[in-house]
Structure 1
Amino acid sequence: MRLNKSNELLTSFSKAGIILRPSSPELKPIYENIKSIFEKYNIEVFLENNSAKMINKKGLQLDELCEKIDFLVSVGGDGTLLSVVRKSYNYKKPVLGINLGTLGFLTDISMNEIENFLKNFTNKNYRIDSRMLIEGTLNLNSFVAFNDIVITRKSISSMIKIDAKIDDKHFNSYYGDGIIISTPTGSTAYNLSVGGPILYPLTEAFLVTPVAPHSLTQRPLVMPADFEIEFTITDSQGAVVIADGQDIYELEENDSIKIKIAKQNAKMIHRCERNYFDVLSEKLRWGN
């Protein structure tokens, strides 16, 4: 089932919270340039505290920032945007991605496009897409991921054994390098690199893709969004769980992680003319 594009627009867009790519103090002049362009369109800019410290500015803690602003701006690449979405999940703020990276599946506004975008933005000529996230729960603690949750081996010298249940009923046992559980948005990330299918990002489903499985009969599965999957580690060495390639958790033998669709979606601000299939064609060089 395909999710509809949201008809939602911001009721107010006069205050933006900016989060910069970490460990990049060279972004100071870029931030100053972005700030001046936003202010030209009467949008007040606030800087997140860690980003501010990095470039010797004053900033606000994330919770204070999200309470104050109308939308967030991620400045960096897709990795920066993934982190911003996860950290701001509870505040339900739409996120605009400014791309300073190379691939840019998620961050579609380049530096030289900011002014033209803001002209359209302030005239309400933009869209907000609603992207599905997944939620992992282990040891009663929950976290979300925008792209994927990966369960993988602790040691490179051995494979990992994982039992899987759907709605408390055993359906598979995996033996290999690990498993990727990805959202439609994340289908073009790690999932794609191991041969998993691409899903349209507004699809209401998620993927379970084995990584280097011991058996060739193990194939990627597209799962309906209302299912919950429980993965139990049956390997004595335990496992590592990684959210969006950034946040890491450890599991021991017989530990389980439950994964389901998160209660709320991420809201992404895009140009009206942005076309997902054009992005795929450009980034994956289809037809070349």
Structure 2
Amino acid sequence: MGLKATITKEKLKSKSKAGIILRPSTPEIKDDYMKIKGYFQSQNIEVFLEKNSAYMIDEEGFDLDTLCDTVDFLVSIGGDGTLISVVRRTFRSGKPVLGINLGTLGFLTDVSLNELESFLQNLSDDENYRIDSRMMIKGNANLQNFFAFNDIVISRNSLSSMIKVDAKIDGKPFNSYYGDGIIISSPTGSTAYNLSVGGPLVYPLTDAFIVTPVAPHSLTQRPLVLPADFEIEFTITDNQGAMVIVDGQDIYEVEQNQSIKIQIASKKAKLLHRKERNYFEVLNEKLQWGN
């Protein structure tokens, strides 16, 4: 398993049904949705809308499990945050997700609204798209399992104090962290919070964990890249406890002496991309390398 990059030749078995999930709490997105729906229908692709999205714009929809069982692929309309949420909630269905970018940065969302019509016109040819398989992180705290596409962050509960965490790899102690927190990132998430605190960028199709301390008390604490076949365990030794934040969206509380176990998930997320999408060109554009 280790640091292997997963490049698949998987293709869609059928392209006749798309399940759409919209950015939440934005009813004004309806105009864009209707335009997008028209693009799909013009290519004889039937559109099914997720029920919470549908309720938001006064349309009819389907619960998420039914949607995943019905469609050939999923479509996230919004920004990277919307896509991350969609992937986390649906990856176990095995359905690829296409990200349509209505946001700004767009590391993950592949197709802009202006590009969508052309992309769909070319979708009938398997040579014009690809499906990437990306690692998901499985976490467990207080007997609760959770999954992350980007990262799991162990953060201090109190703004006035630092957090102390003991770490083990496959049951063997390897470090003690003292600072504002720890980010356990997937390669996909390496361009998110991990990057903002000085962590390394890792090619997104790699299977690896990036463990990055946040404002560590000791300057000798550095980011660490680990093969994903390790199980990592973090035990909270601070009497203040800690928060576990999953993809910046879900929060779990952990008390003193309780542990968070991290491992690779048994299934991978699948992203539907334009064939010509190049990860390094995206980095160059978004991070303005060389400028």
What SS does structure 1 have at the residue aligned with 2:282? Answer: helix
Question: Following the alignment from structure 2 to structure 1, what is the Cα–Cα distance between the partners of residues 6 and 134?
Answer: 10
**Residues 46-61 of structure 1 mapped to structure 2, 5 A cutoff:** 46-61=48-63
Counterpart in the other structure of 1:241: 244
Q: CA deviation at 1:258?
A: 0.2
**Residues 28-47 of structure 1 mapped to structure 2, 5 A cutoff:** 28-47=30-49
Counterpart in the other structure of 1:113: 115
Counterpart in the other structure of 2:26: 24
Contact 2:92 / 2:267 at 8 angstroms: preserved in 1? no
Counterpart in the other structure of 1:159: 162
What SS does structure 2 have at the residue aligned with 1:88? Answer: helix
* Amino acid across the alignment from 2:11: L
Counterpart in the other structure of 1:213: 216
Question: Following the alignment from structure 2 to structure 1, what is the Cα–Cα distance between the partners of residues 10 and 135?
Answer: 16
Contact 2:23 / 2:82 at 8 angstroms: preserved in 1? yes
Question: Following the alignment from structure 2 to structure 1, what is the Cα–Cα distance between the partners of residues 53 and 185?
Answer: 29
Q: CA deviation at 1:89?
A: 2.3
Contact 2:6 / 2:134 at 8 angstroms: preserved in 1? no
Does 2:72 match 1:63? no
Aligned CA RMSD, in angstroms, stands at 0.7
Question: Following the alignment from structure 1 to structure 2, what is the Cα–Cα distance between the partners of residues 121 and 268?
Answer: 14
Does 2:136 match 1:133? yes
CA displacement 1:216-275 (0-9 Å, x = unmatched): 010000001100100000011100000110011000111101001111110000001000
Counterpart in the other structure of 2:259: 256
* Amino acid across the alignment from 1:225: A
What SS does structure 2 have at the residue aligned with 1:122? Answer: coil
Q: CA deviation at 1:43?
A: 0.4
Counterpart in the other structure of 1:97: 99
Contact 2:19 / 2:71 at 8 angstroms: preserved in 1? yes
Counterpart in the other structure of 1:181: 184
Question: Following the alignment from structure 2 to structure 1, what is the Cα–Cα distance between the partners of residues 235 and 15?
Answer: 45
Does 2:266 match 1:276? no
What SS does structure 2 have at the residue aligned with 1:98? Answer: strand
Q: CA deviation at 1:212?
A: 0.1
Q: CA deviation at 1:74?
A: 0.2
Q: CA deviation at 1:52?
A: 0.3
CA displacement 1:144-176 (0-9 Å, x = unmatched): 100000000011110000000100111110000
Q: CA deviation at 1:140?
A: 2.1
Q: CA deviation at 1:2?
A: 3.2
Question: Any gaps of 5 or more consecutive residues in structure 2?
Answer: none
* Amino acid across the alignment from 1:213: P
What SS does structure 1 have at the residue aligned with 2:111? Answer: coil
* Amino acid across the alignment from 2:251: I
Counterpart in the other structure of 2:9: 7
Counterpart among 71, 74, 90 of residue 72 in structure 1: 74
TM-score (norm 1): 0.99
Moved over 3 A (4+): none
Q: CA deviation at 1:55?
A: 0.3
TM-score (norm 2): 0.98
Q: CA deviation at 1:4?
A: 3.2
Counterpart among 86, 89, 100 of residue 88 in structure 2: 86
Identity %: 71
Using CA pairs under 8 Å that are at least 6 residues apart, name the structure with larger relative contact order, 1 or 2.
2
Q: CA deviation at 1:111?
A: 0.2
Question: Following the alignment from structure 1 to structure 2, what is the Cα–Cα distance between the partners of residues 108 and 68?
Answer: 23
Aligned length, in residue pairs: 288
Q: CA deviation at 1:92?
A: 1.3
What SS does structure 2 have at the residue aligned with 1:137? Answer: strand
* Amino acid across the alignment from 1:4: T
CA displacement 1:165-201 (0-9 Å, x = unmatched): 1001111100000000000010000000000000011
Question: Following the alignment from structure 2 to structure 1, what is the Cα–Cα distance between the partners of residues 9 and 92?
Answer: 21
